[in-house]
Amino acid sequence: MAQTIRNKILVIEDDPGINAFLRTTLTAENYDVLTVLDGKNALQVIASHCPDCILLDLGLPDMDGGEIIRSVRGWTQTPIIVISARSMENDKAAALDQGADDYITKPFGVVELLARIRAALRHTCTMAEKDEIGLTGAYRVHGLEINYRKHRVTVNGKDIHLTPNEYRIVALLGKHAGRVMTYKAILRELWGPSAAMDNKILRVHMASIRRKMEVNPNEPQYIFTEVGVGYRMAEAEDE
Amino acid sequence: MKNGKAARILPDLLRFILILCMAVLLSMLLSGVNDDNNPFAMGIFILAVALVARFTSGYVWGIAASLVGTFCVNYMFTYPFWAFDITYPGYPLTIAVMLIVSVIISALTTQIKLQEQLRFEAEREKMHANLLRAIAHDIRTPLASMLGASSALQEQRLPPQDQAVLIGSIRRDAQWLVRVTENLLSVTRISGDVSLKKEDEVLEEIIGSAVHKYRRATDALPVRVEAPDEILVVPMDAVLIEQVLLNLFDNVSAHAQNATQIWVYVRADAGKVSISVEDDGVGMSRDQLARMLEGTQFSEQSDKKRGMGIGLSVCRSIIHAHHGTLSAGRSAHGGLALRFELPVKEEAYGPDDP
């Protein structure tokens, strides 16, 4: 991706230290950076500047992060990456279910942050144009291929025999590769909002999928667990 | 507090009724033996009042018991029998004695309970103070080194390779402080009134995630996981158990000298799973092991080397909160083996579609 036009990133964070760190890092990476310290200003800046990506701290003093997500999602699909502390799994999951695209846990390193931002920006690009799946009918990462036309999954060319439900889970994660899907979102997408499925059944399905796809289910390469939140399919950029 | 009071009324009432009924029964039995003025009745009821005062909370039950007792003695066991006679000369004295007994015993009981409470609280205070001291001790050193390194970077003109060394040390110290705070947060999560957020988790997911996170640390060793092929579903607070695994991995990186590799062995036994984290480092003496597991090592050690005291004692509290056990031993690979067990509900899980 040639970056002739610089992407504009809005940082909504009330801590001056982290704010400064983000501004410096992102500016050095050739992004245009806007920073605001509270929720009220954030909403105004989003409306007037239309950033390409939003980094949102969940613990703002004046406004609940969820409120900002909902209000932004009312009129734009600009990617939102939530910044939150660990041991707040419920808040992360809630933020994702309210429309945030991804989250990053404090404290985080530069590499991780930049990877998340690139992934978020890439997803908006692919959504606008045509993504790989739309063009080729398949998602590929490392040796894994999910063929959406033939409903077939292969690893290094070898057929993986998934049950229909297992295929649906893998296919869904593949479509959202690189991003966390919460348990709730997966269950809702696959079995509808009122399904009597619970997290445990989903987890057992996932264990079975991993036994078929991964070399060692304890050290997955394709589908990662975000403890307490959900699952994430590997992307080409993941190491 | 209100709820607690309401919940205590019923058992107190039951005790009150039970003790008084027994007193009446006993007096009646004895009055069959001795048909006179029943001198023992009053003694029995004083005893009953004392018992009520002892085994109920507050003054009300004891006082009520002494009133009921006086009435019973007067009505049933003094002449005229089965009649209430206030003119009986000892009557005011009986009431007075019973009331005094009940008040004294209630007061004593309340006082004992209060003292127990106070002692418990003092103990807890002491524990908190100890923990705080250990933490302050543990974080002071890295903070001092960070401060020193950053001021050197800012105020001195250093060659680039020296700068890189200082920056690296700041980063390592900061990482270590992050681990300390994560552990402290875990402690608050268990020691608060909130119970664990237990869910049925698939064990391999938690291990996989912990290994993944551990690998991102700068000084990570390679980790090999060996687990049975079956799907192990274990009820747990996933975030906390992940923390346990991370602490055990960190413990190897920080303390096992010459370790080159970490092994994780998972075994499923009847009703429990055991997870053993092992290394091929130098290991520890039996004495060191014992002290480390007891968590008595934290304050002495932290000056020399950053103690994992907090980390391991957090592991222990997390595992205890899960009704599991943590033990240490020798690994077949030559180093330390830290093993913890978690109880599992016995249930069969089919991996396939419902």
Residue whose C-alpha is closest to residue B251's, from B339, B134, B162: B339
- List strand residue ranges (DSSP E) for chain B, in order: 199-202, 223-226, 233-236, 262-269, 272-279, 325-330, 336-343
- Which residues of A are less than 8 Å from B183 in CB distance? none
* CA–CA dist A174, A159 (Å, integer): 17
- Which residues of A are less than 8 Å from B353 in CB distance? 163-166
Residues forming a β-bridge with A222: none
Query: Please, what sign has the CA dihedral across residues A60, A63, A67, A68?
Result: negative
Of B207, B233, B239, the CB nearest to A204: B233
Q: Transcribe A171-188 into DSSP letters.
A: HHHHHTTTSEEEHHHHHH
Give the C-alpha distances (Å, rounded to integers) separating B162 from A167, B158, B170. Answer: 54, 6, 12
Tell me, yes or no, if A105 comes closer than 8 A to chain B by beta carbon: no
Residue type, B199: E
List the 71-90 stretch of A: residues with Cβ below 8 A of B: 86-87, 89
Give the C-alpha distances (Å, rounded to integers) separating B159 from A66, B156, B164, B165, B317. Answer: 47, 10, 9, 10, 46
Residue-wise pLDDT for B157-173, tens only, equals: 888 999 999 999 998 88
The answer to whether B70 touches B101, Cβ cutoff 8 Å, is no
CB contact under 8 A, A207 and B208: no
Q: B308 falls in which pLDDT band (50, 70, 90)?
A: low
Residue keyed to tokens 């041991």: A87
List the 164-193 stretch of A: residues with Cβ below 8 A of B: 164-166
Q: What is the mean pLDDT of residues B330-351?
A: 77
Q: ipTM higher than 0.90? A: no
Q: What is residue B283's three-state secondary structure? A: coil
Tell me, yes or no, if B222 comes closer than 8 A to chain A by beta carbon: no
CB contact under 8 A, A226 and B209: yes
Strands A158-160, A32-36: pairing is: unpaired
Out of B8-17, B30-39, B262-271, B323-332, least confident range: B30-39
Q: Please say if the pLDDT value at position B101 is more than 60.
A: yes
Q: What domains lie within chain A, and their CATH numbers? A: 8-128 (3.40.50.2300), 133-233 (1.10.10.10)
Residue-wise pLDDT for B12-24, tens only, equals: 888 888 988 888 8
Q: Please say if the pLDDT value at position B352 is more than 50.
A: no
Give this prediction's pTM.
Answer: 0.71
- Which residues of A are less than 8 Å from B207 in CB distance? 218
Element counts in chain A: helices (H) and strands (E):
9, 12
CB contact under 8 A, A219 and B208: yes
Q: What pLDDT score does A169 carry?
A: 93
Q: What pLDDT score does B1 carry?
A: 41
Q: B276 falls in which pLDDT band (50, 70, 90)?
A: very high
Average pLDDT, chain B: 80
Strands B199-202, B223-226: pairing is: unpaired
3-class secondary structure per residue, A48-94: HHCCCEEEEECCCCCCCHHHHHHHHHCCCCCCEEEEEECCCHHHHHH
Q: What pLDDT score does A10 carry?
A: 94
Residue keyed to tokens 């992940």: B242
Out of A153-157, A162-166, B179-183, B267-271, least confident range: B179-183
Residue with more model confidence, A135 or B161: B161
- Which residues of B are less than 8 Å from A17 in CB distance? none
Q: What pLDDT score does B306 carry?
A: 54
Residue-wise pLDDT for A78-112, tens only, equals: 999 999 876 677 788 889 988 898 888 888 888 88
What values do phi and psi take at A238, rounded to 5? Answer: -60, 145
Tokens of B235: 């009820």
Q: What pLDDT score does B292 carry?
A: 67
Tell me, yes or no, if B213 comes closer than 8 A to chain A by beta carbon: no
Residue-wise pLDDT for B111-137, tens only, equals: 888 898 899 888 888 877 777 777 787
- Which residues of A are less than 8 Å from B181 in CB distance? none
What values do phi and psi take at B199, rounded to 5? Answer: -135, 160
Tokens of B231: 């799907």
Strands B262-269, B223-226: pairing is: parallel
Residue with more model confidence, A220 or A199: A220
Residues forming a β-bridge with B100: none
Tell me, yes or no, if A217 comes closer than 8 A to chain B by beta carbon: yes
Q: A239 falls in which pLDDT band (50, 70, 90)?
A: very low
- Mark residue A225 as left, alpha or beta (left: phi above 0; alpha: psi -120 to 50; beta: remaining): beta
- B222 secondary structure, DSSP code: P
* CA–CA dist B336, B334 (Å, integer): 7
The answer to whether B315 touches B321, Cβ cutoff 8 Å, is no
Residues forming a β-bridge with B343: B272
Q: Please say if the pLDDT value at position B40 is more than 80.
A: no
Of B225, B233, B352, the CB nearest to A218: B225
Q: What pLDDT score does B192 carry?
A: 60
